Amino acid sequence: MTTSEFEGVDALEETYAAASRTDSKPLAMKAQDVSVWFGKRKVLEGVNIDFPEQSCTALIGPSGCGKSTFIRTLNRLHELLPGAALAGEVYYDGKDIYSPDIDPVYIRLQIGMVFQKPNPFPSMTIRGNVLSGLKLSGMKRDNHDEIVEQTLTAAGLWTEVKDRLDHAAGELSGGQQQRLVIARALAVQPHVLLMDEPCSALDPASTLKIEETIRELSKDVTIIIVTHNMQQAVRVSDYTAFFLAAENEPGRVIEQGPTTEIFSNPKDQRTLDYVNGRFG
């Protein structure tokens, strides 16, 4: 197969280059033998993935393969659902985030999250939304104006909203709201940013903007993104992990590696079929 089968040829070449640059990076996070249950139903089995620092890792796979569930185990949001259970370890900063002496609030601040649907707080202003993480977590910072400008700039939204920071967040378009939510997540200075299909509710133009933002951000922050859009994985990620669940079986990671390899030269036939759109 040739690269011309992709729409984002340029982006692909860029990621080829990016991959060769990032090959020897230390790990920001590591999932080791992670299995996940909802009640008695096992939804993930034996997941091992490395997440190199300051890079973007895409989790791809058809619906129901457990990739969204997996990403929620990485910042301990999974455990807030009734009946949730987990086996294995998730390492961050050299420690298992599930070990009893780790405060889940600390983990959620270090490992931020952006969700599928833009979810700014409707009762707060744009500025209030950016700073909401400080209030919610009880973090004390004095340089509020600086934080607002920095994070909104990083999220690619500053020029569009700088004159109406005191307006309600609900006035923004869906794409702007999603970038606001990214700024909000960045304001507590996370080292890792999880994104669960952040563009699935957005139009193509907004998607493009968010992807630019992701590419910029991944120079400083480690990004882990769930996406069902394979072109997007090619455009934004350095590494890719492919999840698949056979019928009535828990999801597993079929293959992982540099994005370029997964898409151009996969080792597993199922990966090849999936990235070429033969199923899913």
Partner 1 sequence: MSQTEAMRDLHSAATSHRGDRVFNRIVTAAAFTSLVVLAGIAIFLGFQAIPAFQTQGIAFLTTTDWDINTDPPTAGIWGMLYGSVLLAVIGLFIAVPASLLLSIFIVFLAPQKVAKTLTNLIDLMAAIPSVILGLWAFYILNPPADEWQRLLNQYLGWIPIFQNDSGNFLGTPFIAGFVLAIMMIPIVTSVTREVLGRTPPDLINAAESLGCSLYTMLRYVALPYGRGGIIGGVMLGLGRALGETIAVFFVLKVVFETNWYKIIESGGGSVATLIVGRFGEVTGPFELQLLLAAGFFLFIGTLVVNVIANLIVNRTGRLQK
The nearest distance, CB 128 to partner 1, in angstroms, is: 9
The nearest distance, CB 230 to partner 1, in angstroms, is: 26
- CB closer to partner 1 out of 49 and 185: 185
3-state DSSP assignment of residue 49: strand
Q: Residue 237 corresponds to which tokens in the numbers above? A: 């990620």
Amino acid identity of residue 31, one-letter, is A
In order of 1, 75, 259, 267, the CA distances from 256 in angstroms are: 19, 21, 8, 10
Which residue in this structure is represented by tokens 């492919």? 242
Interface with partner 1 (CB under 8 A), residue from 188, 224, 236, 244? 188
**Contact flags string 59-78 toward partner 1, x per CB under 8 A:** ----------------x-x-
Contact positions with partner 1 (CB under 8 A) in 122-161: 122-124, 132-133, 135-138
Rounded CA separation 115/79 (Å): 17
Interface with partner 1 (CB under 8 A), residue from 6, 92, 115, 239? 115
Does residue 228 belong to the site contacting partner 1 (CB under 8 A)?
A: no
- CB closer to partner 1 out of 184 and 235: 184
Does residue 191 belong to the site contacting partner 1 (CB under 8 A)?
A: no
Q: Residue 240 corresponds to which tokens in the numbers above? A: 């890719």
The nearest distance, CB 124 to partner 1, in angstroms, is: 8
Which residue in this structure is represented by tokens 């967040």? 169
3-state DSSP assignment of residue 170: helix
Does residue 210 belong to the site contacting partner 1 (CB under 8 A)?
A: no
Interacting residues of 161 by C-beta distance below 8 A, sequence separation 6+? 126, 152, 167, 172, 176, 180
Helix segments in the chain, DSSP class H: 9-22, 67-73, 104-110, 126-137, 144-154, 158-161, 174-186, 204-217, 230-236, 259-264, 269-275
3-state DSSP assignment of residue 21: helix
Site size with partner 1, rule: CB under 8 A: 27
Interface with partner 1 (CB under 8 A), residue from 113, 152, 192, 225? 113
Instruction: Mark the segment that binds partner 1 (CB under 8 A) among 150-158, 181-189, 204-212, 234-242.
Output: 181-189
> Contact positions toward partner 1, by CB under 8 A?
75, 77, 80, 105-106, 108-109, 112-113, 115, 117, 119-124, 132-133, 135-138, 181, 184-185, 188
